[in-house]
Amino acid sequence: MEYFSGSKKLLLFILEDWKLLLFLTVLFGLYFYYTSTFDFFEKKGIPFKKPVIFLGNLGPRLRGTQSFHEFQLEAYKNFKGNRYGGLFEGRRPLLTIMDPELIKAITIRDFDHFTDRITLNAKEPKFWSRSLLNLKGAEWKPLTPVFSSSRLRNMLPLIQLCSTQMVDFLKQYDKKDVEMKKTIGHFTLEVIGACAFGIKCDALSDENAHFFNVAEKFDYMPLHKRLMLFFILIFVPQLIKILNFSFLNLTSAKELVRILKAAKAERKKSGVKKNDFLQILIDFSEKERSESEKNKSEIHLDEDTVDAQLLLFLIAGYETSSTLLSFAVHVLATKPDLQTKLRAHVKEMTEGKELDYDCLAQLHYLEGFLLETLRMFPPLARVDRVCTKQYTIPGTSIQLNPGNVVAIPLYGIHMDPEYYPDPQEFKPERFMNEDKKDRASHLYLAFGAGPRNCIGLRFAMLSAKLAMVELIKNFKFSTCEKTVDPIQFDKRSLLLKAQGGLWVRIEKL
């Protein structure tokens, strides 16, 4: 009787307090789910930073107390002395690679184990899911030869024309204080419009040009959407496939795609061939389609993929190039002695010469200046790779499985005095002569490393060199009341941005 009496009491308790029990069950389930990965590094004997439930190690980023670059630098310093270390983004383990030889193995020697990047895995919109950043396996390979030396030589006159227009555009700001990120963005967009699509964006003739205003807002996202996207990424990433979220401003992206599709349709209709990125993709696509029909092989460069690369080239080129040039101008303004030295170098090397491809290649100090700018102010703070097939970390028994993510703390390496003595000092000479030869190439990661590095790096450097030649020969840059030095990084942005902008004073020479 006592047994039945006890069972009855338990049953009554469940019936009366089922809501409490359900709540506790759900709470326990959530706790178990969100902490179930927290022993990932401990099991493998990898040093790691203790995570917090739901947030992992992202607390400083979410509280807005650290920029993404500062966060990566702190993580790098925390694991310095180890070959690797473990961080958590929410519940996702992120293996941070510290050892130079291991970085080389992952990005170059054993690249076939790490061919993919972290993606949102959304199937729509196609103009994002089919972009180069999201392509899996070997899908990206047909795009690697698009910026050969011969193609860049053919694009040079277009970049030169845009550089001349930039000088005229900037003359209106003579003896005025200017925020360089947005101002120089007019030039980078005009260059990309001309070299990528053969279209005139009017970014250097009309400050309110439609194309510029649309492109400028590509990454704008209201606060509530940012919070929602973060919530999904941390707590229920599986919803990404269903909801098709994107980091892009979809309104802006759709309008840009509409413009690009119109340019592509007009090109095909007219039959006119130009020396630009659009023509290269059209030719590649037609060649692949022809070979596919003969060999019954798969087509990678379909219409959606071509549109996706056009949009990516526009967005990535606009953002990264404007970041490089605006930070470079800030350096000139805050370091007048260096500005004088660079101007003398440019004048000596270009005086009386045609500013052609070979002449630009000989501007070694200017190249060192730009590479040093990217060392101290890289647009991205880390390089990510996803393990695509089982991999044993060299010299250990530690195994990584498909889906595991490795991260290379780019900014930490760039600011490490072991590789770059006095890292806070701006020294273009680091990338010249013996200094450059004595340092392993995979320890400079502004453009990534290995087969899947930035395919547009040569185009970016060519256009930046041309722009800097025109800037340094035609203008003097100095500090103004709004100039902040040292630069404070924006704590909300994922890409590198200066808090409050990059303000300088411009004077015509």
Cα 484 to Cα 459: distance, rounded to the nearest angstrom: 30
Task: Let me know whether 32 and 158 are in one domain.
Answer: no
State yes or no: cis peptide before 222, omega within 30 of 0: no
Task: Let me know whether 366 and 351 are in one domain.
Answer: yes
Task: Let me know whether 24 and 47 are in one domain.
Answer: no
Under 8 Å between Cβ of 351 and 206 = no
CATH number at residue 485: 1.10.630.10
Between these two residues, 439 and 410, which has the higher pLDDT value? Answer: 410
Taking residues 478-492, report their average pLDDT. Answer: 94
Q: What is the structure's pLDDT at 10?
A: 56
pLDDT digits (tens, 9 = 90+) for 351-376: 888 888 899 999 999 999 999 999 99
In 3-state terms the chain splits into helix, strand, coil percentages (rounded to 5) of 55, 10, 35
Q: What is the structure's pLDDT at 256?
A: 77
Q: Please give the DSSP secondary-structure letter assigned to residue 42.
A: H
Taking residues 471-481, report their average pLDDT. Answer: 96
Task: Let me know whether 43 and 26 are in one domain.
Answer: no
pLDDT digits (tens, 9 = 90+) for 451-460: 888 878 888 8
How confident is the prediction for the chain on average, in pLDDT?
Answer: 83
pLDDT surpasses 60 at 204: no
- Structural domain harbouring 21: 1-36
Beta bridge partners of 37: none
pLDDT surpasses 80 at 309: no
pLDDT digits (tens, 9 = 90+) for 11-35: 665 556 666 667 777 778 778 888 8
Q: Please give the DSSP secondary-structure letter assigned to residue 211.
A: H
Taking residues 207-234, report their average pLDDT. Answer: 67
Task: Let me know whether 11 and 124 are in one domain.
Answer: no
Task: Let me know whether 26 and 103 are in one domain.
Answer: no
pLDDT surpasses 90 at 251: no
Taking residues 126-135, report their average pLDDT. Answer: 66
pLDDT digits (tens, 9 = 90+) for 73-116: 999 999 999 999 999 998 899 999 999 999 999 999 999 999 88
Ranked by mean pLDDT, which of 124-133, 197-206, 468-477 comes out on top? Answer: 468-477
- Antiparallel, parallel or unpaired: β 405-408 and 383-386: antiparallel
- Antiparallel, parallel or unpaired: β 475-478 and 92-97: unpaired
Q: Is 504 helix (H, G, I), strand (E, B) or coil?
A: strand
Task: Let me know whether 241 and 324 are in one domain.
Answer: yes
Q: What is the structure's pLDDT at 235?
A: 66
pLDDT surpasses 90 at 5: no
Cα 349 to Cα 238: distance, rounded to the nearest angstrom: 56
Q: What is the structure's pLDDT at 100?
A: 94
pLDDT surpasses 70 at 209: no
Does 454 belong to an annotated binding site?
A: yes
Taking residues 397-408, report their average pLDDT. Answer: 94
Query: What's the pTM value of the predicted model, to 2 decimals?
Result: 0.87
Task: Let me know whether 277 and 410 are in one domain.
Answer: yes
pLDDT surpasses 50 at 1: no
Task: Let me know whether 392 and 503 are in one domain.
Answer: yes
Q: What is the structure's pLDDT at 502?
A: 96
Task: Let me know whether 142 and 1 are in one domain.
Answer: no
Domain count, the chain: 2
In the sheet that holds 503-508, the strands lie side by side as 176-179, 503-508, 475-478
Task: Let me know whether 394 and 287 are in one domain.
Answer: yes
Task: Let me know whether 27 and 81 are in one domain.
Answer: no
Between these two residues, 277 and 429, which has the higher pLDDT value? Answer: 429
Helices (H) and strands (E) in the chain, counts: 21, 9
The set of residues, in sequence order, having a beta carbon less than 8 Å from that of 264 and lying 6+ positions away, is 197, 278, 282, 306, 307, 310
Q: Give the DSSP letter string of 129-141.
A: HTSGGG--TTTTG
